[in-house]
Amino acid sequence: MADVQFLFREGEEAVSAPTVALSAFAEDTNATAVVIEPGEDARALIPHLDRLSLVEVTFPAFTDGRGFSSARILREAGYTGELRASGDIGVDMLSHLHRCGFDAIAPNAPLDLAQAETALKVWPQVYQATVVDGRKPIWALRHGL
Amino acid sequence: MKIITGNDLKSGAVTWWNGAAWSLHVNDAADMGDEAAAVIAAEEAARRVNGAYVIEAEQTADGIRPAHIKERIRALGPTVRLDLSLDPTATPDKVL
Amino acid sequence: MYLYDHYDQAMVDARVAEFRDQTRRRIEGTLSEEKFRPLRLQNGLYLQLHAYMLRVAVPYGTLSGSQMKMLGDIADKYDRGYGHFTTRQNIQYNWIKLEDTPDILADLASVEMHAIQTSGNCIRNISADQYAGATADELIDPRPYAELLRQWSSFHPEFLALPRKFKICVIASDTDRAAMRLHDIGIQIVKNEAGEIGAAFYVGGGMGRTPIIAPLVKAFVPLDELITYSEACLRVYNRYGRRDNKYKARIKILVHELGLEEYSRQVEEEFAHLQTLNIEPPLAELERIKTFFADPAYETGLSDDLDLSNPAFAAWVKNNTAAHKTPGYAIVNISLKPVKVLADGTKEAGIPGDATGEQIRIMADLAKTYSFDELRVTHTQNIVLPHVRKADLFTVWEKLVAAELAEANLDKITDIIACPGLDYCTLANARSIPVAQKIAERMADKAEEIGELKLKISGCINACGHHHAGHIGILGVDRKGLENYQLLLGGCEGADTSLGKIIGPGFDEDGIVGAVEKATQVYLANKEGEERFLDTYRRIGMNPFKEAIYG
């Protein structure tokens, strides 16, 4: 299990609770941390959000973007705990992960910090309201919304 | 013969391994036999080439002729724009 | 024409800086080719047979004179003096250097252009009707909706690693000039019974190895839910589109496997959820965008009279111009499918869609002087000057003649769509361009008699040359190391979209030219009244063609 290299949760440390697979989660009523694989339905967690402190969304291959939808779905449903992206993650994905609601990144191989910093600052503004990133889209800025 | 081709990383130009370095001319290609894999690994690691691979070719009176039409087009240029070919003698027939 | 504000400019500039940094990391070695490849693809940069190839976006096919001029300058400065206009209304350059690409993108950004998402598994450049804003048969100009979608789809963080590429097209007339139903999402702007404007969504069309005509998924999406509904369509696809087999990864397969009803149900569910989130730009944003597409200052009271005493000019007017919504104006099509007659009478056809840097600049100048500074790129690989005064047509034609751009063959058998094929493309199995040239040369003298005949050639099953949608389609395949060409008949894009059927065993290069000629002879022998090739084929069926070609 890779370590969390980036954590965007003010004043917090990465959650260390042991994670269980989504398939085991419903049965295991003590579990507070869960892992979702790309093919699994993030919405299955919605009834249990209040007992979760960590959801880890895996990216076995960086070309598989299902985890981006999983993250937004959880945030849209009101999940406020740590949302961790793990796996085959490169610096060029960081800002997109962040925009979809991830606030912890655990890449298989640690990323270069200077490169990561550049990548996170690439976009001066954003075109879409993902809602979950707290950023005002350009259309809102244009119309003073 | 087995020859190695790829594209120059920075320029994208089609290149051929001459046994010691990359050449733009297919006729410089060297028969690399079983050594190809090691050359490809080293050259890609050194970022002198992108997407290198081994192809079959034969030595003919006209020079080295890759076995597959795709590689002959790579070697000589688009058959519809042979004015852009590096080989002034290139003709569609020579490519085909 | 849409003009960037400081936000749009900052986004494109940011993209240039990002790609400059990524390119530097690739050349320095901290970014592997495996990781770099999707990044360069999402900036339009492929590694093709001879070099890198850069595909530049022409959003909804519309561009200004200065943008067009820049395309010509890039051809000369960074490429080998020409560019290739594509079936996605874009332009691509065949001889690009990786190390030059950030500078090219910066040059493009200086005229509000880019290569964003012109490749890769993401939402691609949005295409549209090339006659938008100029034709009388449209409900409304579709381009503001396309621009709204362009901004929404640019760098959408959730949809940058889709199962496969995703193509959207927007039209607003019943005459479909953009092959709308052969897109992943085809949108037709429509009016409902209450007289309100909205969007009909056709989802899951496409060509490639499994051609499917998109079914209607939702007949009316209100304009203030356009983005929200699109987002729902994409989210369902991103989550459930197949990722186990890239040949089954397009949304058409998902819609097909789930069934239209189940796919729509899932989209509706997602749509209902997303409607609660406030992700839709306000209508004021659409209104802001619309102001850029207001009609130019047409002169009024112009005459529609034309002096057609010059027969070559008359032929060009008849074939290459279309009715404009404003009296005294015409839509001009510039054919990029020349067939030159040499001194000895032999013919020499050009490469479909290619134009030299000089020709591109000449078209840019013509647009500035005669077409309110606007041009369009068509999916048939031609160029349009959308608003030319009829009084200027003769002058425009003379200048086009001088630039070898006045071939009067729009929608004729010599106006062939052809992908780059094996002459340029690593995916191709056979060459397309030489086949197009041979057919054009053989058939040029008959083109007028044959009339409308859309011939489309792809050099592989990916169907970039739209062979499924050709009245006559040709598909190049590899048969035991040799180029082989299959003949399809009866395809059509447009309001009466249909897919071509393979007639029988394939041919070699000369064989396919002969087979096409025979097919036209069957048509001419059987045609009734004003029937087009396609109409005759639909009436008499495949058999007479089969007999003539294989008999």
Domain at C468, CATH number: 3.30.413.10
Bridge pairing between strands A54-59 and A33-36: parallel
Q: How far is CA C201 from CA C170, C174, C181, in A?
A: 10, 14, 10
- Cβ burial of C67 (10 Å; 0-12, 13-18, 19+) is buried
Q: If you write DSSP's letter for every residue of C38-59 in order, what string do you get?
A: HHHHTTTEEE-SSSEEEEEB-G
Check CB contact under 8 Å for B70 and C33: no
Residues of C with CB below 8 A from B51's CB?
33, 47
CA–CA gap between residue A140 and residue A129 (Å, rounded): 9
Q: Do chains A and C touch (3 or more CB pairs under 8 A)?
A: yes
CATH number of A6-142: 3.40.50
pLDDT of residue A1: 61
Distance CA C222, CA C199 (A): 6
pLDDT, residue C254, reads: 98
Per-residue pLDDT at C221 exceeds 90: yes
What's C114's DSSP letter?
A: B
The average confidence (pLDDT) of chain C is 97
Q: What is the pLDDT of residues C425-447, one digit of tens each?
A: 999 999 999 999 999 999 999 99
**Is the per-residue pLDDT at B94 higher than 90?**
no
> How does pLDDT run along chain A (145 residues), one tens digit per residue?
689 999 999 999 999 999 999 999 988 888 999 999 999 999 999 999 999 999 999 999 999 999 999 999 999 999 999 999 999 999 999 999 999 999 999 999 999 999 999 999 999 999 999 999 999 999 999 999 9
Among the three residues C258, C289, C320, which one is the final residue of a domain in this structure? C289
User: Tens digits of per-residue pLDDT, C398-418?
Assistant: 999 999 999 999 999 999 999
Q: Residue C493: in which H helix or E strand, if any?
A: none
- Cβ distance C99 to B78 less than 8 Å, yes or no, reads no
pLDDT tens figures, C79-97: 999 999 999 999 999 999 9
The two structure tokens encoding residue A15: 């959650």
Same domain, C257 and C343: no
Q: What global pTM score does this model have?
A: 0.97
Q: pLDDT tens, C43-81?
A: 999 999 999 999 999 999 999 999 999 999 999 999 999
Give tens-digit pLDDT for C311-341: 999 999 999 999 999 999 999 999 999 999 9
C158 in the same domain as C277: yes
| C121–A63 CB contact, under 8 Å | yes
> Any CB–CB contact under 8 A between A139 and chain C?
yes
Cβ–Cβ under 8 Å, residues C462 and C475: no
Chain B and chain C touch, per 3+ beta carbon pairs within 8 A: yes
Q: Which chains are within 8 Å of B by 3+ CB pairs?
A: C
Give the CA radius of gyration of chain C: 23
Percent of chain B at pLDDT > 70 equals: 100
C395 and C422 fall within a common domain: no
Question: Mean pLDDT over residues C528-533, rounded?
Answer: 97
Last residue of a domain, one of C233, C258, C289: C289
Q: Do both C276 and C351 map to the same domain?
A: no
**Quick check: is B64 in a domain?**
yes
Mean pLDDT on C250-273 = 98
Q: Tell me the residue range of the domain where B44 lies.
A: 2-68
* C90 and C163 share one domain: no
Q: What is the mean pLDDT of residues C371-395?
A: 98
Q: Do C319 and C280 fall into the same domain?
A: no
Torsion of CA C518, C524, C526, C528, to 10 degrees: 160
- For residues C321 and C188, state if they share a domain: no
Whole-complex ipTM:
0.98
From the list C5, C238, C285, the residue facing A65 with the nearest CB is C238
Average pLDDT over residues C157-169: 98
- Has residue B52 been placed in a domain? yes
C231 falls within a domain:
yes
Asked if the structure places residue B93 within a domain, the reply is no
Q: Hey, of C100, C431, C432, C484, which one would you mutate to test binding to chain B, going by the most B CBs within 10 A of its CB?
A: C431
Segment C29-36 mean pLDDT: 95
Last residue of a domain, one of C109, C130, C151: C109
Q: How many domains in chain B? A: 1
Across A20-29, C125-134, C516-525, C531-540, least confident range: A20-29
- Are residues C170 and C241 both part of a single domain? yes
Asked whether the beta carbons of C406 and C332 are under 8 A apart, the reply is no
| DSSP-derived 3-state class of residue A11 | coil
Asked if residue B80 is part of any domain, the answer here is no
Q: What is the CA radius of gyration of chain B?
A: 13
Which residue range(s) make up the domain with C56?
A: 6-109
B51 in a domain, yes or no? yes
Task: Specify the residue for token string 């999983």.
Answer: A70
Closest in B10, B50, B84 to C47, CB measured: B50
A8 inside 8 A of chain C by CB: no
Which residues of chain A are within 8 Å of residue C152 when distances are taken between CB atoms?
127-128
CA distance C227 to C233: 10
DSSP labels, C249-282: -SHHHHHHHH-HHHHHHHHHHHHHHHTTS--SPP
For residue C305, being part of any structural domain is answered with no
Total structural domains within chain C: 4
- CB of B83 within 8 Å of a chain C CB? The answer is no
Alpha helices by DSSP H, listed for chain A, are: 22-25, 66-76, 94-99, 113-120, 138-142
- Identify whether B27 is part of a domain: yes
| Same-domain status, C478 and C361 | no
- Contacts A–C by Cβ distance under 8 A: 104
Does one domain contain both C454 and C487? yes
Question: Is B96's pLDDT higher than 90?
Answer: no
> How far does the CA of residue A109 sit from the closest CA of chain C (Å)?
13
C324 in any annotated domain = yes
Out of B12, B44, B73, name the one closest to residue C51 (CB): B12
- Say if the Cβ atoms of A68 and C235 lie within 8 Å: no
Asked whether the predicted pLDDT for residue B62 surpasses 90, the reply is: no
